Amino acid sequence: MSEVKPNRLHPGDIVGVIAPASPPNQINLQRGIEFLKGLGLRVKVGKSVEKIYGYLAGSDQDRLDDLHAMFLDSEVKAIFCASGGYGTARLASNIDYEIIKANPKIFWGYSDITFLHTSIRQETGLITFHGPMLGSDIGKEDTHAISKQGFQQLFEPTDVSYTERFSPLETVAEGVASGELVGGNLSLIVSTLGTPFEIDTKGKILFIEDVNEEPRSVDRMLNQLQMAGKLDEVVGFVIGDFCDCTPKRELTLTLEEVIDHYVLSANKPSLKGFMIGHCNPHISIPLGVQAVLNTYDKSLIVESGIL
């Protein structure tokens, strides 16, 4: 499916805020909304954002209605997710993707939002954005300025150039890879397998990150992707931040040993150490656009995601 880039933002634009997964921290969310206003944007908040239904921000229908409403609202030029957690996969089969096709616009989030990044891209071609969320990240008092700077890519078409000026990068397998950048949270990527939204990795650069997963859990998930043929199909690997993925037992492999095993088995150009994921700072990137990964100069260049 051909890529569809959303239009850029302009000061004065109206943007929407939704919670398609778990309930956000309301205090942090309000600070996140003030941040958007500080960018010169006006904000509409979805009806389910303040709801709590166990570990979900409202019922599936509540959250689905908000998603549809924001895409249908011609005044809304971008949609920002308040938080992750759990729940977006429950929506995927009931989303009217024709609404999104007819009303392409910026869609921003990460973590549990990975399932929607994948389903929306593969059903509509829409470029989406993997970036820090309002309640989970931007509204926290210690949020790094670099995390906030990433929103500027929504106002002016600019390639994202990630080099070691952001963080030390380590080569796992040498080479240069070019292709569409896909992926996100490893747990959510694996959860697409066997569904209508199974991630397509053929000829793609695969980005992965995760949080609170022991090395043995990361091993299990990468092994499943390998057995499903997904790792052999990629042209390169971007290894993001694996936050608090520390072992809880004495007999273990390290996270590095686990990741290196699967990446080296695939033998595709790969770099690790990217501050993309559950980290602070968190560098924002578009997904579904063309990218070039170069281990020789340790860089990742990602094409702009907007028009």
Give burial (CB, 10 Å; 0-12/13-18/19+) of 248.
exposed
CA distance 206 to 198: 14
Residue 217 has what pLDDT?
Answer: 97
- Structural tokens at position 124: 């509509």
pLDDT in tens, 123-148: 999 999 999 999 999 999 999 999 99
Q: CA-CA distance, 222 to 282, in Å (whole number)?
A: 23
Mean of the per-residue pLDDT values of the chain: 97
Residue 304 is predicted with a pLDDT of: 98
What are φ and ψ of residue 155, in 5° steps? -105, -20
How would residue 259 be classed by pLDDT, with cut points 50, 70 and 90? very high
Q: Which of 175, 194, 210, 180 is nearest to 298 (CA)?
A: 175
| DSSP 8-state symbol, 281 | S
Backbone angles phi, psi at 183, to 5 degrees: 125, -145
Q: What is the mean pLDDT of residues 144-171?
A: 97
Average pLDDT over residues 216-228: 98
Examine the pLDDT at 250 and tell me if it is beyond 80: no
DSSP-assigned letter for residue 197: T
Among 163, 111, 168, which residue's Cα sits nearest to residue 293? 163
> Which stretches of the chain are assigned E, i.e. beta strand?
14-18, 42-45, 76-81, 106-109, 128-130, 160-162, 170-173, 176-185, 205-211, 236-243, 270-272, 285-287, 290-294, 299-302
pLDDT of residue 1: 78
Residues β-bridged to residue 56: 53
User: Is 144 a known active-site residue?
Assistant: no
Report the distance separating Cα 139 and Cα 132, nearest Å: 10
In 38-97, at which residue ranges do the beta strands (DSSP E only) sit?
42-45, 76-81
Q: Are 273 and 167 in contact (CB under 8 A)?
A: yes
Distance of CA 77 to the CA centre of its chain: 19
The answer to whether residue 111 is catalytic is yes
- Distance, in Å, from the CA atom of 25 to the CA atom of 84, rounded to the nearest integer, reads 11
CA nearest to 3, candidates 86, 104, 93, 76: 104
209 as an active site residue: the answer is: yes
**Would the pTM of this model clear 0.95, i.e. be above it?**
yes
The mean pLDDT value for 71-80 works out to 98
- pLDDT of 56 over the 80 cut: yes
| Catalytic pick among 22, 83, 111, 187 | 111
Check residue 247 and give its pLDDT.
85
CA dist 203 and 145 (Å) reads 34
Domain 160-302 carries which CATH code? Answer: 3.50.30.60
Strand-pair partners of 272: 170, 239
**Residue 252: predicted pLDDT:** 86
Annotated active-site residue in 48, 117, 191, 209:
209
Distance CA(47)–CA(274), nearest Å, equals 35
- Which residue ranges does the chain devote to CATH 3.50.30.60? 160-302
Q: Which of 117, 130, 278, 282 is catalytic?
A: 278
Residues of the chain with CATH 3.40.50.10740: 14-154
pLDDT of 112 higher than 80: yes
- Provide the edge-to-edge strand list for the sheet that holds 176-185: 160-162, 299-302, 290-294, 176-185, 205-211, 236-243, 270-272, 170-173
Residue 251 has pLDDT above 90, yes or no: no
Please give the CATH topology (third level) of the domain spanning 14-154: Rossmann fold (3.40.50)
Amino acid at 16: G
